[in-house]
């Protein structure tokens, strides 16, 4: 099971996540108003730091939709993953797959508001365009997406997972104590892993290695 923590802004956070047993670290680039937004230069430095751990793979997480700009950022950061966390079109996915570096992994977020998937009619198009996996996350009633700390409903996750054809990461308010609330999602044959933000943050709002380790241990326990 993959474990991803999202929103690192310092090298210390990156190395702490590696020590906590994480597999992926999300780096926010062109996330307007995002608390963990980094510059292009910082993105490249953190991506290098993640790769240097020998364990963590960096993930460029973005709301941007211009394929040319995204490809420049991916190449500059040498990021093996890009996570399209906004409402990018299948055309953006197609362009990244066609023109991106060999081996680039494309994660497309799908947003659920209650039991409704806001991209319901596009999942097949994302699959055909070349996405590698989906990330299922919360869309709040007031319009927030990403780092909402609001959990999804296990039944809604399972229903959506049955309709899509790709592996999926589970996000949305996950923490060390709610693994049991997602028995259906975890048992699904396309369940790939988890993506955590708020529950891994400590004093000062930075990602905390001890909290990340607690989440990792809890979700990987049998």
Residues 128-159 have pLDDT tens digits of 999 999 999 988 666 666 666 778 999 999 99
Of 188, 153, 202, 194, the closest CA to residue 174 belongs to: 194
Reported as a single tens digit per residue, the pLDDT across 43-84 is: 999 999 999 999 999 999 999 999 999 999 999 999 999 999
164: Cα within 13 Å, side-chain hemisphere: 32
Would you tell me how many other CB atoms lie within 10 Å of the CB of residue 138? 21
Q: What gap in Å lies between CA 108 and CA 132, rounded to an integer?
A: 8
Q: What pLDDT is stored for residue 190 in this prediction?
A: 98
The candidate with the shortest Cα–Cα distance to 186, out of 214, 165, 212, 158, is 158
In three-state form (DSSP H/G/I as H, E/B as E, the rest C), the secondary structure along 47-112 is HHHHHHCCCCEEEEEECCCCHHHHHHHHHHHCCCEEEECCCCCHHHHHHHHHHCCCCCEEEEEEEE
- Predicted TM-score (pTM) of this structure: 0.95
Percent of the chain with pLDDT over 90: 87
pLDDT bracket for residue 203 (50, 70, 90) = confident
CA dist 164 and 120 (Å) reads: 10
In the numeric block, the tokens 């993959």 are attached to 2
């Amino acid at each position: 099971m993959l474990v991803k923590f999202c929103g690192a802004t310092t090298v210390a956070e990156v190395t702490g996540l590696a020590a906590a047993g994480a597999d992926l670290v999300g780096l926010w680039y062109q996330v307007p108003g995002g608390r963990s937004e980094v510059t292009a230069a910082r993105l490249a430095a953190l991506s290098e730091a993640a790769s240097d751990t020998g364990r963590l793979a960096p993930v460029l997480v973005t709301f941007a939709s211009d394929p040319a700009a995204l490809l420049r950022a991916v190449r500059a950061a040498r990021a093996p993953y890009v996570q399209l966390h906004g409402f990018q079109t299948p055309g953006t996915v197609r362009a990244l797959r066609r023109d991106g570096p060999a081996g680039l992994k494309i994660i497309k977020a799908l947003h659920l508001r209650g039991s409704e998937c806001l991209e319901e009619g596009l999942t097949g198009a994302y699959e055909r365009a070349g996405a590698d996996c989906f990330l299922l996350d919360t869309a709040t009633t007031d319009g927030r997406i990403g780092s909402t700390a609001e959990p999804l409903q296990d039944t809604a996750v399972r229903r959506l997972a049955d309709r899509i054809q790709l592996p999926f990461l589970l996000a949305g308010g996950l923490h060390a104590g709610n693994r049991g609330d997602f028995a259906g999602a975890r048992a699904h044959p396309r369940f790939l892993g988890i993506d955590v933000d708020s529950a891994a943050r400590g004093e000062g709002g930075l990602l905390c290695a001890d909290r990340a380790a607690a989440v990792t241990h809890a979700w990987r326990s049998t």
